[in-house]
Amino acid sequence: MNSARSRLVALSAAALFVFGACSASATPAPSSGPKASQVATVPDDQLLFKGKLVVCSDMPYPPQEFFDAQGNPVGADIDMAKAIAARLGLTADIQNSVFDTIIAAVTGGKCDVIMSAMTITPDRQKQLDMIPYFMAGQAFLVTKGNPKAFKTLDDLCGKNIGAESGTTEAAYVKGTDAYAGKGLIKACTDKGKAAPTLKEYSKDSETVGALQASQIDIYFGDVPVVANYATEKAAQFEFAPIPALEGQVQGIALPKDKTGLRDAIVKALVASINDGSYLAILKQYKIDAGAIKATDVKP
């Protein structure tokens, strides 16, 4: 997996901000194109329910996963999960989950896979197989006008930062998982500055609500999500001018003993990339700057 990740080129700042044009509520329903052919069969003993691919996803996290006006799960991850399931002769069953307990959900048999903007990290790879499918940087959201005048990472020292619990962003602030021995708290204190305070929330919507209510100074999330809020709620929020962090690979996650399912998903995802349907989904949600190549799809 490390070799696959090393071949992925980090998104430039300009490419990252292509996400800023994203508009979740205005996103049309997926177009009905030609039916994709089945490329693999999953053994029944690799699935919770015959004929279904049960997918855990933490919603809302637009534009990758959220609910439409009728309460139906939609988003780039959701559409991709459905496309993958169809190529395996299955029907996707989307289960809304809490991100901080989503790994326990898949290892505990509540779903077959996780598809929820989950960054591939060393700690997660110890517990799960993770199939690369997307890449996103991390960025910051502030209330309109940037009243705290955030410009650099140093400006975060001593401030209240909000992030969804269990995310890469929370790990970055605390200095855990991929950021062990570093992280934002250490960076601040090493410079003699006050440590930032991380406030974690179980749902992304709660984090954004905390920013709106001035309970935190700044929101920290993946670039596509920050861009979505900055666009959809432009009267309330905007991108902080702090440079976005380097792009990180996200993965479809599943238990390590489900190798048959893993290999089938790899075939389905590669087929979707090769025939252009993968890119079409990302373009529909205006996040195609995060597309990866078929050669990068290696667990």
What digits encode the pLDDT tens for the residues 115-149? Answer: 999 999 999 999 999 999 999 999 999 999 999 99
The pLDDT of residue 260 is above 90: yes
Which tokens sit at 33? 């194109």
The pLDDT of residue 299 = 75
User: How far is Cα 73 from Cα 194, in angstroms, rounded to an integer?
Assistant: 41
Q: Grade residue 86 by pLDDT with cuts at 50, 70 and 90.
A: very high
User: How far is Cα 168 from Cα 261, in angstroms, rounded to an integer?
Assistant: 26
* Position 78, amino acid: I
The pLDDT of residue 9 is above 50: no
Topology alike, domains 2-136+248-296 and 138-239: yes
The pLDDT of residue 5 = 34
The pLDDT of residue 270 = 97
Question: What percent of the chain has pLDDT above 70?
Answer: 88
Would you list the domain boundaries of the chain? 2-136+248-296, 138-239
DSSP conformation letters of the chain: -HHHHHTSPPPPHHHHGGGGG--STTPPPPP--SPPPP-----GGGSSSTTEEEEEE-S-BTTTBEE-TTS-EESHHHHHHHHHHHHTT-EEEEEE--GGGHHHHHHTTS-SEE-SSPBP-HHHHHHEEEEEEEEE-EEEEEETT-TT---SGGGGTTSEEEEETTSHHHHHHHT-GGGTT-HHHHHHHHTTPPPPEEEEESSHHHHHHHHHTTSSSEEEEEHHHHHHHHHHTTTTEEE-SSPPPPPEEEEEEEETT-HHHHHHHHHHHHHHHHTTHHHHHHHHTT-GGG---GGG---
The pLDDT of residue 10 = 35
Which tokens sit at 72? 């139906």
The pLDDT of residue 265 = 98
Q: Grade residue 246 by pLDDT with cuts at 50, 70 and 90.
A: confident
Computed over its alpha carbons, how large is the radius of gyration of the chain?
19
| Across 166-181, average pLDDT | 94
User: How far is Cα 19 from Cα 240, in angstroms, rounded to an integer?
Assistant: 14
- pLDDT tens-digit map of 28-42: 444 434 467 899 999
Choices 3.30.70.260, 3.30.70.100, 3.40.190.10, 3.30.110.30: CATH for 2-136+248-296: 3.40.190.10
CATH class in words for 138-239 = alpha beta
The pLDDT of residue 1 is above 60: no
User: How far is Cα 161 from Cα 163, in angstroms, rounded to an integer?
Assistant: 7
The pLDDT of residue 35 = 67
